[in-house]
Amino acid sequence: MRWKLTGRFLMTIICTVFCVILVNGIISIVLYVYHISNEDRPTSATDFTRSLARYIAKIDEEPQISDEGIATLQERNAWLQFLDDNGNVIGHALAPAAAPQHYTPIELIQAYKYRDKNQTTTLVAEHNGVTYLVGIQDASLSKIIITSNTSSITQFIAQFALIIIIVDIVIAIIIGFIFSSFLAKPIYRMIERIRMLKNRNFAVDSKRSKGLYRSIFHNLDDVAESLKLQEEERHKLEQMRNEWISNVSHDMKTPLAAIQGYAELLQGNVSTQEQSDYAEIIEKKSVYMRELLDDFTLTMRLRQQEMPLQLVDTNIVSFVRELVIDVLNDTTFSGSEITFNNQIDKLTKSIDTHLMKRALLNFIYNALVHNEGNVALDISIEEMNEVTVITISDNGKGIAEADLPQVFERYYRGTNTRNIKGTGLGMAIARDVIQAHGGEVELVSEIGIGTTIIVRL
């Protein structure tokens, strides 16, 4: 993958260089054509010499140059001589006195090829049978004569262009390879990190990137941390589910074994009283199994948020007071001291009365059942910062500190509940009901002093 990314980047660089060369060539050709087509007057010495032909004419068979041509010579600091077929000067314009009056063919060649001691460059031209020699006094002007083969020049230009293109491509490959190494390396690391996350490897990368991709790697670390926490939570829920199934299976086996045993006894020769006793035991075990399954279904629906709440605006003060009265009327707890304190007379809350009643009664019954018969129970309700606070306190045996974190776990039974009947789901259901209403539960306890449950809605 890393070399694939590098190769693609190199191809991009090479294509870019090729496009740059092509565009530069097109621009150069366009500029040259524009320069040639918009050139108003000649600038070279040869073009200047040829342009003088427009000012030359024969008058009475004698070559003459017009006044405009003479002005042109003066502007260029040049002079002109007319020659006959034998090289004799038959006329001139602005020619110096030291200028030769006769030129042999060799002298013409020498004058054309080289400048004289006065830094005069000589050029020869012919127009309509008139031969004229032009001398330009310009020290910066030089003449280079080149002889070449046109096909060789074309071949040289093609070879030169090919070499330039190859060199440019090689340079682009070298630079692109170096640059792409730095570019592809963090991308490859990102792909590896994503592959690790896919394989559930949530280890945080120890190499902290400080470049362009710093924020990306930081976000990948955050994703890894979040997925790690979710994975741990999933394992925890999986373990809890397995424990639920194991505990339910265990709790179901005991009453089923009893039902099966007493049913077998009923098939034998037993008295009417024994039949009645065995039937009563079977009924109790059946009721227990039904309650266990109902509680199990309820706690699962609450945890999965599949339990729709039937919310009704209710005076929570009157609601809690009626619960306390119901408990006081239960002869089972006649020896217990239960008090109710309220700071306000009316406080309306939207609650599911059925589920809320079960949750609060679970807290109250736990305080009464898991303590001695003379336990004192104090229930109070107040409002603090628009939060309804229901407090249930007892002066019973208390809960060991090691047991506190597990009190609300499903099927958990503390050290002081060994001989207490129940499904083991009461506290978990009560806590889930409160949370389903958007509230929270706090448990405070100390051995020998008592236990306090604080419900905030």
pLDDT for res 38: 60
Fold agreement between 236-303 and 312-456? no
Orientation of helix 426-436 relative to helix 272-303, angle to 10°: 30
Per-residue pLDDT of the chain (457 residues; tens, 9 = 90+): 456 656 666 677 777 777 777 777 787 787 777 766 665 544 678 888 888 888 888 888 888 889 898 998 898 889 999 988 888 888 888 888 888 889 888 888 888 877 777 778 888 888 888 889 998 887 777 666 666 666 666 777 777 778 877 877 777 777 767 766 666 677 777 788 788 888 877 777 666 665 666 777 778 888 888 888 888 878 877 876 777 677 677 777 778 888 888 888 888 887 888 888 888 888 888 887 887 777 777 776 776 666 677 888 989 889 888 888 888 887 777 777 888 888 788 888 888 888 888 888 888 888 888 887 778 889 999 888 888 899 999 888 888 887 777 777 654 444 444 444 555 677 888 888 888 888 998 888 888 888 899 999 9
* Full strand arrangement of the beta sheet holding 337-342: 337-342, 376-384, 387-394, 450-456, 440-446
Query: In this structure, what are the phi and psi dihedrals at residue 66, rounded to the nearest 5 degrees?
Result: -75, 165
Residue ranges of domains in the chain: 2-38+148-190, 55-137, 236-303, 312-456
Q: Which residues does 206 contact at the CB level (< 8 Å), separation at least 6?
A: none
Which pLDDT value is given to residue 418? 44
The whole-number pLDDT of residue 37 equals 66
Q: Indicate the class that CATH gives domain 236-303.
A: mainly alpha
CATH superfamily of 312-456: Histidine kinase-like ATPase, C-terminal domain (3.30.565.10)
